[in-house]
Amino acid sequence: MSADKLNLIAKKLCEKPKGILAADESTNTIKKRFDSINVESNFEMRRAYRELLFKTPNLKNFISGVILFDETIRQEDSEKTSLAKYLLDNDIIPGIKVDTGAIHLEKNSQEKLTEGLDGLGKRLEEYKSLGASFTKWRAIITIDNESNMPSDYCIESNSFNLARYAKIVQDCDMVPIVEPEVIMDGEHSIEDCYEVTCKTLKNVFKQLELHKVFLGGILLKPNMVISGTLNKNQASIETVAELTLDCLHKCVPQDVPGIVFLSGGQSNELATEHLNEMNKKSKDLPWNLSFSYGRALQQPSLSKWFGKDENIQIAQEALFQRSQFNSEATSGKYNSENENKI
């Protein structure tokens, strides 16, 4: 595939007013979410839930692509059509999570290194045959000032793997989403998050350049610059937007078509408000700012479904509404007062 075609796919995924639905939860993660609504996490219930999400009427108005898990890209809907084909037929691009999870960076370290490079090329060929056009790989960066985390070794090791992954993906004619996540957990300040996020992004793009990755054919999925969840001084929406934009301007090359933020454990409303504020503040950015949310899109739907067929419609309406709010935020047109009208 030519560079132009990779660029076209990347642009379509982040084109306003749309964003990406992350539905790539591992079996363990989705079990935890099903446990919260007392639904058994078996193959059929997971399939039914994903079908509910993907078949939400007019979802394509707000969602450009869906990131799938290995199990999901192989599943069929109740009419024996593959879920990936259903998405394609409805003008939504299927993607696939390709990392295999994180291990401890060193024997006694709490820091993590994401794996999955072994055999990646062969897996990508299969995923392409199943309908995927883009991929995702997540690296985990933890802030803990008392333990001097993150270490340079952690940032550099994860940046190398992200770049190697992106190069392999592009060589297989697919678009890589590069996700270096500085996680929210901890007592750190927003200034700490700013410093670590800037350092991480600079390392990631240094490695992408060294690996000769075509920046016009990737998407960046970063965290927002935000206070640690346990910090008593939670930054305002305006401060989060200002510091996140400043970090991006310093670290992200203009060649990147789009930045699709992760929600990272923020509340549904805050994830939307932060994105909205960034798009209100800056009208002439070199990249589109959009969303690639998982829980922040799915939670309202999950909490209305409870595994019951009779709740499918109201669960789909909840996903539609949350997707619409985030769609509005990609243009800075979201109004938080509408949350109370649901």
142 pLDDT exceeds 80? yes
Of the candidates 299, 288, 248, 293, which has an alpha carbon nearest to the alpha carbon of residue 271?
Answer: 293
Is the separation of the CB atoms in 219 and 14 below 8 Å?
Answer: yes
Domain membership flag for residue 340 = no
Q: What are phi and psi of 82, to 5 degrees?
A: -60, 145
* Calpha distance 49→228 (Å, rounded): 31
Counting every residue, how long is the chain? 342
Domain membership flag for residue 222 = yes
Q: Convert the pLDDT of each residue in 2-54 to its tens digit.
A: 899 999 999 999 999 999 999 999 999 999 999 999 999 999 999 999 999 99
Pair of tokens at residue 67:
């990131």
Helix, strand or coil for residue 22?
strand
Compute CA distances 157 → 115, 119, 194, 204, whole Å: 11, 19, 20, 10
Domains: count for the chain: 1
Is the separation of the CB atoms in 6 and 175 below 8 Å?
Answer: yes
Q: What is the CATH number of the domain that holds 289?
A: 3.20.20.70
Of the candidates 131, 72, 62, 74, which has an alpha carbon nearest to the alpha carbon of residue 292?
Answer: 62
Residue 216 has what DSSP assignment? G
What average pLDDT does the chain have?
97
The boundaries of the domain holding residue 283 are 3-334
Is the separation of the CB atoms in 188 and 141 below 8 Å?
Answer: no
> 1 falls in which pLDDT band (50, 70, 90)?
low
Tell me if residue 40 is catalytic. no
Looking at per-residue pLDDT, the higher value among 121 and 341 belongs to 121
Which candidate in 221, 273, 277, 304 is catalytic? 221
Is the separation of the CB atoms in 157 and 113 below 8 Å?
Answer: yes
CB count within 10 Å of CB 286 equals 14
Domain membership flag for residue 342 = no
Cβ neighbours for 296, distance < 8 A, ≥ 6 positions apart: 263, 266, 267, 268, 271, 272, 322, 326
* Calpha distance 297→320 (Å, rounded): 9
H or E segment to which residue 19 belongs: strand 19-23
Domain membership flag for residue 182 = yes
> Percent of the chain at pLDDT above 70?
99
For residue 282, what pLDDT is reported? 82
> 340 falls in which pLDDT band (50, 70, 90)?
confident
Domain membership flag for residue 300 = yes
Domain membership flag for residue 339 = no
Domain membership flag for residue 42 = yes
Domain membership flag for residue 341 = no
* Calpha distance 299→194 (Å, rounded): 28
76 pLDDT exceeds 80? yes
Of the candidates 300, 297, 298, 280, which has an alpha carbon nearest to the alpha carbon of residue 289?
Answer: 280
Tell me if residue 179 is catalytic. yes
260 pLDDT exceeds 80? yes
Which candidate in 179, 181, 277, 328 is catalytic? 179
> Percent of the chain at pLDDT above 90?
95
For residue 341, what pLDDT is reported? 67
Q: Convert the pLDDT of each residue in 147-156 to its tens digit.
A: 999 999 999 9
Q: What is the pTM of this model?
A: 0.97
Average pLDDT over residues 79-88: 97
3-state percent breakdown (helix, strand, coil) of the chain, nearest 5: 50, 15, 35
